[in-house]
C-alpha cells in the first residue's frame, strides 16, 4: 500500500481534526472527542472525562499552532488514514514530571498514540508511522525514543500505544515491563 507521511503542523492541522471528527468510535465511545489531547494535559481523570469534544478539538488546534502537539499523519490518495503522536518527552505534560521518566533528558522523544482508520487497520500503517517518527526524531537530533506499548490481544483495536512486536521490528529494546506493559527505547546515537 502506497502511503504518504506528513508531519503535524499548521498546514496539516485541519486534516488532523477532520480525521478525528469523522472516525467511528462505536468500539470505544468514551474515546470520541479525545483529539489525542490527553497526554498534553495534567488534569485528573475525572476532570479529563468532563472535558467536551469541542474543548479538546480547540485545545488540539491551539497546541498544534504553538508547535506543542506533534506527530505524523498517514495519507492514502490524499486522505488522512492514520495518526501517530510523536513528541518530545517534555511536550507531553502527562509524562513530563513522571518520576519513572526522570532519568530521560530533553533529547528524548516519545511515540505514545496511534489512531488508524478502520479500513486501514491491520495493514501495517502504524509500523510505517513508527518509521516516519523515528526518521523525524533522528533529523531533529534526538538521542533516544521511548515507547510504552501494551498488549490487549482480545481487543487489538484498543492497542493505541502500539504493540511490543511493532516497536521491536523498528529496533526498540525493552527497558522494563510492568502491569501496564513494556517500556521500550531506541537509542538513536548508536544506530
Query: Model confidence over 55-81: pLDDT tens digits?
Result: 999 999 999 999 999 999 999 999 999
Confidence of residue 88 (pLDDT cuts 50, 70, 90): very high
Q: What is the pLDDT of residue 94?
A: 86
Between CA 161 and CA 130 the distance in angstroms is: 11
Pairing mode, strands 71-76 and 4-7: antiparallel
Confidence of residue 157 (pLDDT cuts 50, 70, 90): low
- Collapsing DSSP to helix, strand or coil, 66 comes out as coil
Q: Whole-prediction pTM value?
A: 0.92
| Cβ atoms 151, 179 nearer than 8 A | no
Q: What is the pLDDT of residue 28?
A: 66
Q: How many CA atoms lie within 13 A of 152 on its CB side?
A: 11
Averaged pLDDT, 46-61: 93
Task: Say what percent of the chain tops pLDDT 70.
Answer: 93
List CB contacts of 96: < 8 A, sequence separation 6 or more.
Answer: 89, 90
Q: What is the pLDDT of residue 171?
A: 96
Mean confidence (pLDDT) of the chain:
90
Domain that holds residue 143: 4-187
CATH of the domain at 36: 3.40.630.30
Between CA 62 and CA 67 the distance in angstroms is: 9
Averaged pLDDT, 161-186: 89
Confidence of residue 32 (pLDDT cuts 50, 70, 90): confident
Is the pLDDT higher at 180 or at 115?
115
Q: How many domains does the chain have?
A: 1
Q: What is the pLDDT of residue 26?
A: 73
Q: What is the pLDDT of residue 33?
A: 85
Amino acid at each position: 500500500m502506497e502511503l504518504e507521511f506528513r508531519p503535524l503542523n499548521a498546514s496539516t492541522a485541519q486534516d488532523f481534526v477532520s480525521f478525528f471528527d469523522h472516525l467511528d468510535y462505536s468500539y470505544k465511545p468514551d474515546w470520541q472527542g479525545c483529539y489525542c489531547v490527553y497526554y498534553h494535559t495534567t488534569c485528573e481523570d475525572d476532570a479529563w472525562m468532563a472535558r467536551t469534544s469541542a474543548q479538546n478539538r480547540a485545545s488540539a488546534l491551539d497546541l498544534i499552532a504553538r508547535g506543542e502537539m506533534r506527530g505524523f499523519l498517514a495519507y492514502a490518495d490524499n486522505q488522512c488514514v492514520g495518526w501517530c503522536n510523536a513528541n518530545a518527552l517534555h511536550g507531553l505534560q502527562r509524562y513530563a514530571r513522571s518520576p519513572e521518566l526522570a532519568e530521560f533528558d530533553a533529547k528524548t522523544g516519545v511515540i505514545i498514540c496511534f489512531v488508524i482508520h478502520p479500513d486501514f487497520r491491520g495493514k501495517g500503517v502504524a509500523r510505517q508511522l513508527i518509521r516516519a517518527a523515528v526518521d523525524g526524531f533522528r533529523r531533529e537530533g534526538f538521542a533516544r525514543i521511548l515507547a510504552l506499548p501494551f498488549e490487549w490481544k482480545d481487543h487489538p483495536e484498543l492497542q493505541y500505544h502500539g504493540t511490543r512486536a511493532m516497536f521491536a521490528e523498528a529496533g526498540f529494546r525493552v527497558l522494563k515491563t510492568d502491569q501496564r506493559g513494556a517500556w521500550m527505547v531506541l537509542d538513536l546515537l548508536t544506530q
